[in-house]
Structure 1
Amino acid sequence: MNSLIKLEIARALRNRKFLFFSVLYPAILFLIFSSSAGSGDKVGGTGLTVATYLMVSMASFGALTAVLMGNSERIAKERESGWVRQLRLTSLPGRGYVLAKTASAAVVSLPSILVVFVVAGAVKDVRLDAWQWLALTGVIWAGSLVFAALGVAIGYLASGDAVRPITMIVYFALSLLGGLWMPATTFPQWLQNIAKWLPTHAYAALGQAIEQSQAPHLRDVAVLVFFFALFAGGAAWLYRKDTLKA
């Protein structure tokens, strides 16, 4: 399993076009979204400036882009090319395959997080304590594993032709409804009640709590743990199911 993890990480780092897109895209969106607000403008109900709030949202969005978009389409292509069939001839368990994919995705997501932080600090003058920068990096990076597992599940659930539109629908729905593009506090109340149970909302909320020097809300932690178990378990089950079909 360790050999597969190393191979997956090497393959992810060789995909320069995808790395370029996933690393720069969220930083560019951060600059666009934050340009319309003054340096002192705050997001209602949070006490955070627009730039500080959007920094976490776009770093989370960047990590989501890297792990979800990359995993799902890559796995669907591997199924069609016969690579997964070769893995079935080994003793690799389903959980080992899921772990290898999530680990490689986590390596790709880290640069996208760091670039958003650098741009926020250099261009928008976002200032935090050293422990907050470190905690934000760790929390957003670790939280991306939830969506890496989702990418694996979609890659096994959808065919090669259908995987991209399915991934895009899930990607944009989670980003928009989870409050990554705009504060969830601007939603109607009924939509806010839905958003607070989405993994993307809980994901960004962890980082926002750190920015406010507060402990993460237990509900947000529980939501992420639940969805990680759901996505990872579903991905492993779909891997075994696909194996039985072969």
Structure 2
Amino acid sequence: MNVLIKLEIARTLRNKKFVFFSVVYPSVLFLLIAGPQDNSVVTGTGLPMGAFYMVAMASFGALTAVLMGNSEKIAKEREKGWVRQLRLTTLPGRGYVLAKVAAAAVVTLPSILVVFVVASISKGVRLDAWQWLALTGVIWAGSLCFAALGVAIGYLVSGDAVRPVTMITYFGLSVLGGLWLPVTSYPRWLQDIAEWLPTHAYAGLGQAIELGGAPHLKDVCILVAYFLVFAGGAARLYRRDTLKA
């Protein structure tokens, strides 16, 4: 299993297009969205513009790495027969999934840190040392929820359909969850929906830390609940795919 994890990490890092969209793209978006605006407080959050979008884009970058990477790779490898070949070895099924998550996690951490550096330099975001460490930890750990979703999508759809399905899910969750725009700018009915989305809870973890407190219990529970649903779905779809092989 360790060999496969190293192989997956090496393959991920060699994919320049994937690394760009996972690591560089979120920072570029931060500069495009937050850069031209003043650092006034975002309505309803208590956070200045720079701090708000720093967490939003760091979360967006982590989401990109684990969701886009896992779903497309798994769907295409199923189609090419690579997953079937691995089942003929002694590698347990969980080992294959773990290797995918580990490879995505390696890219997730740089994507978070690069956004932090860019926000600190361009918008003057300043936090205590414990806040930087806590932010990195919760955004990195929270990405596991979307890693599980990526695995589920990879086993749910074919190689031809995986990209459009993933993109719709990816942009839908990002926009509706408030990673690109504050949900306070949405109509009331849309705000009510956004509050129960995993991306909104995900960003909420970091925003609470920036305000000097602990993540809200509601956000933690929502994210854990979605993780259990996504992981359970991924496990069921994996078993179904095994029976078909």
TM-score (norm 1): 0.96
In structure 1, C-alpha distance between the alignment counterparts of 2:92 and 2:235, rounded to whole Å: 8
In structure 2, C-alpha distance between the alignment counterparts of 1:213 and 1:112, rounded to whole Å: 23
Residues 82-116 of structure 1: per-residue CA shift (max 9 Å, x gap): 11011111344433332222122111111111110
Amino acid at match of 2:174: S
The Cα of 1:52 is off from its aligned counterpart by 0.6
Amino acid at match of 2:223: L
Do the aligned partners of 2:21 and 2:64 also contact (CA within 8 Å) in 1?
no
Amino acid at match of 2:106: V
Q: Secondary structure at the match of 1:24?
A: helix
Aligned to 1:33: 33
Do the aligned partners of 1:149 and 1:231 also contact (CA within 8 Å) in 2?
yes
Residues 109-153 of structure 1: per-residue CA shift (max 9 Å, x gap): 111111100000011111111111111111101111111111111
Amino acid at match of 2:167: M
Aligned to 1:177: 176
Aligned length: 245
Amino acid at match of 1:225: V
Amino acid at match of 1:191: L
The Cα of 1:3 is off from its aligned counterpart by 3.1
Aligned to 2:7: 7
Greater mean alpha carbon deviation, residues 209-218 or residues 90-99: 90-99
In structure 1, C-alpha distance between the alignment counterparts of 2:149 and 2:92, rounded to whole Å: 18
In structure 1, C-alpha distance between the alignment counterparts of 2:35 and 2:3, rounded to whole Å: 45
Amino acid at match of 1:22: S
Judging changes above 3 Å, is the alpha-carbon distance between structure 1 residues 236 and 97 closer, same or farther for their aligned structure 2 residues?
A: farther
Do the aligned partners of 1:94 and 1:237 also contact (CA within 8 Å) in 2?
no
In structure 1, C-alpha distance between the alignment counterparts of 2:21 and 2:169, rounded to whole Å: 19
Amino acid at match of 1:233: G
In structure 2, C-alpha distance between the alignment counterparts of 1:141 and 1:72, rounded to whole Å: 18
In structure 2, C-alpha distance between the alignment counterparts of 1:72 and 1:156, rounded to whole Å: 8
In structure 2, C-alpha distance between the alignment counterparts of 1:99 and 1:92, rounded to whole Å: 11
In structure 1, C-alpha distance between the alignment counterparts of 2:13 and 2:198, rounded to whole Å: 26
Indicate whether 1:243 and 2:242 are aligned. Answer: yes
Within a 5 Å distance, the mapping from 1:125-204 to structure 2 comes to: 125-204=124-203
Aligned to 1:23: 23
Do the aligned partners of 2:120 and 2:126 also contact (CA within 8 Å) in 1?
yes
In structure 2, C-alpha distance between the alignment counterparts of 1:150 and 1:94, rounded to whole Å: 17
- RMSD of the TM alignment (CA)? 1.3
Within a 5 Å distance, the mapping from 1:40-189 to structure 2 comes to: 41-189=40-188
In structure 1, C-alpha distance between the alignment counterparts of 2:45 and 2:194, rounded to whole Å: 16
The Cα of 1:6 is off from its aligned counterpart by 2.6
Residues 17-64 of structure 1: per-residue CA shift (max 9 Å, x gap): 21122111000100111133213x111121110111000000000111
TM-score (norm 2): 0.96
The Cα of 1:229 is off from its aligned counterpart by 1.2
Segments of 5+ residues of structure 1 without an aligned counterpart are none
In structure 1, C-alpha distance between the alignment counterparts of 2:219 and 2:153, rounded to whole Å: 23
Amino acid at match of 2:33: F
Q: Secondary structure at the match of 1:166?
A: helix
